Amino acid sequence: MAFLSYLINGLSLGSVYAIIALGYTMVYGIAKMLNFAHGDIMMVGAFVAFFALNSFGLPVVVSVILSMLATTCLGVVIERLAYKPLRQASSLSVLITAIGVSYFLQNGAQLLWSSSTKVFPSIIASGSLRLFGGALSISYLTLVTITACIAVMVCLTLFINKTKTGMAMRACSEDKGAATLMGINVNRIISITFAIGSGIAALAAVLLCATYPTLSPTLGSMPGIKAFTAAVFGGIGSIPGAFLGGLMLGVIEILAKAYVSTQLSDAIVFAVLIIVLLIKPTGLLGKKLSEKV
């Protein structure tokens, strides 16, 4: 039973990673860039939600929507100002710019909101679902997190596969030149991608903070790296891959802590990652791209 409860803890942690990784992987799939500022956009979302809930006393749903709007705008503005001028530049230049944006957001947040730690209010009634006569308890929070994560993944998949914009996105990710020739406004599609990716980041932020309630300007950096790892783990660019990668990462981390050592859990997570990538060099669900000569 202890194993089951660790597993559920792992799934809960993993779904937070997964939901951040979804944003990462989407931006990567279309814009072909590693947006290292993604975790920090999430941090801004967390602060907006915190002030909406705590200082203005808005209801949870309104706060979440407000925070999503804020990060969507932020994502679009960042894309316009910092990434768009680099459309033709090497992917490494864009990576470094993303790191610059990440520094900027962290330090800006510290100046705006001070570095003193804030605590996110609980938005979901504490308490838990008891199974097997109370031997196994799953908190409502865990249930909500996992459900939200699945919902976001399903919506995203549907959006990408069924809508016209989604089709344009897939076209851009395959071949930007050909997409332009087909009359798709590639710049607009990339902006939309950033908007959606950043919007999801706010949702991830609220879920992250509901589970781990301390807020600080650096709150996005560690989950950001973990989510990046999860996205690669699952096969970067693949939406179900990010979901699976996030869940697996969370589960491995918790089980490593529980059964091996809390000191070495990070080393174990990364070791498993390396082994998986050696067996499947493009991640769990990544596509093997044919090489052009």
Partner 1 sequence: MKFEKMLKGGLAAVMAMSLVACSGSSDSSAPAADTSTGSDTTETTVAAAGAFKLGGSGPLTGGASVYGQAVKNAAELAVEEINAKGGVQFEFVMEDDEHDTEKAVNAYAALKDWGMQVSLLTVTSAPGAAVAPLYKEDSTFALTPSGSSLAIIYADLINLADPYGNVFQMCFTDPNQGVASADYLSTHTNLGSKVAIIYKNDDNYSTGIYEKFVNEAADKGLEVVYAGTFAGEDNDFNVQLSQAQANGADILFLPIYYQPASTILKQAKDMDYAPTFFGVDGMDGILAMEGFDTSLAEGVYLLTPFSADASDDLTKNFVSNYQNNYGDTPNQFAADAYDCVYAIAQALEASGATADMSAAEINDLLVEQFTSMTFNGLTGTDVTWNTNGEVSKAPKAVIIENGVYVGVED
Partner 2 sequence: MKNKKSFVGNLFSRTYRSRTISFLIIIVGYILIELLLKTGNLSSMFQSLLVPVTCYIVAALGLNLNVGVSGELNLGQAGFMSLGAFMGICVSGALSSAIPNGLIRLVIAIVLGALIASVLGFVIGVPVLKLQGDYLAIVTLAFGEIIKSLINNMYVGIDPNGFQFSFVENKLSLAPGGKMLISGPMGATGTNRIATFSVGVVLILIALVIVYNLIYSRSGRAIQACRDNRIAAESVGIHVANTKMLAFVVSAGLAGAAGALYGLNYSTLIPAKFDFNLSILILVYVVLGGLGNMTGTIISTIVLVLLPELLRGLQDYRMLIYAVILIVMMILSNNEKVKNLLSLLHQKLSFGKTKEAEANE
In the complex, the smallest distance separating the C-beta of residue 220 from partner 1, rounded to whole angstroms, is 10
| One residue of 107, 163, 185, 214 binding partner 2 per CB under 8 A | 107
Distance CA 11, CA 206 (A): 17
| One residue of 189, 232, 255, 256 binding partner 2 per CB under 8 A | 232
Number of residues that bind partner 2 (CB under 8 A): 47
By the rule CB under 8 A, 116 interacts with partner 2: no
In the complex, the smallest distance separating the C-beta of residue 102 from partner 1, rounded to whole angstroms, is 12
In the complex, the smallest distance separating the C-beta of residue 284 from partner 1, rounded to whole angstroms, is 23
Residues 6+ apart with CB under 8 A from 198: 23, 38, 41, 45, 71, 72, 74, 75, 76
In the complex, the smallest distance separating the C-beta of residue 94 from partner 1, rounded to whole angstroms, is 18
Q: Which two tokens stand for residue 20?
A: 């951040």
Residues 6+ apart with CB under 8 A from 203: 19, 45, 64, 68, 148, 152
Distance CA 63, CA 52 (A): 5
| Partner in contact with 139, chosen from partner 2, partner 1, none, beta carbon below 5 to 8 Å by kind | partner 1
SS3 57: coil
Contact between 40 and 224 (Cβ < 8 Å) = yes
| Partner in contact with 13, chosen from partner 1, partner 2, none, beta carbon below 5 to 8 Å by kind | partner 1
Distance CA 145, CA 123 (A): 12
| Partner in contact with 82, chosen from partner 1, partner 2, none, beta carbon below 5 to 8 Å by kind | partner 2
Q: Binding mask 210-229 vs partner 2 (x if CB under 8 A, - otherwise)?
A: ---------------x--xx
What does the binding site for partner 1 look like in residue numbers (CB under 8 A)? 2, 5-6, 9, 13, 50, 54, 106-107, 110, 114-122, 126, 128, 137, 139, 141, 211-219, 221-222, 253-254, 257-258, 262-263, 266
Contact between 106 and 40 (Cβ < 8 Å) = yes
Q: Which two tokens stand for residue 147?
A: 């459900």
User: Cα separations (Å) of 71 from 32, 48, 76, 199, 237?
Assistant: 21, 9, 8, 6, 21
Q: What residues between 3 and 32 interact with partner 2 by CB under 8 A?
A: 28
By the rule CB under 8 A, 77 interacts with partner 2: no
Q: Binding mask 263-292 vs partner 2 (x if CB under 8 A, - otherwise)?
A: xx-xx--xx-xx--xx--xxx--x----x-
| Partner in contact with 293, chosen from partner 2, partner 1, none, beta carbon below 5 to 8 Å by kind | partner 2
| Partner in contact with 271, chosen from partner 1, partner 2, none, beta carbon below 5 to 8 Å by kind | partner 2
Q: Is 165 left (phi over 0), alpha (psi -120 to 50) or beta?
A: alpha
Nearer to partner 1, 8 or 196 (CB): 8
In the complex, the smallest distance separating the C-beta of residue 86 from partner 1, rounded to whole angstroms, is 16
Among 107, 87, 111, smallest CA distance to 99 is for 107
SS3 131: strand
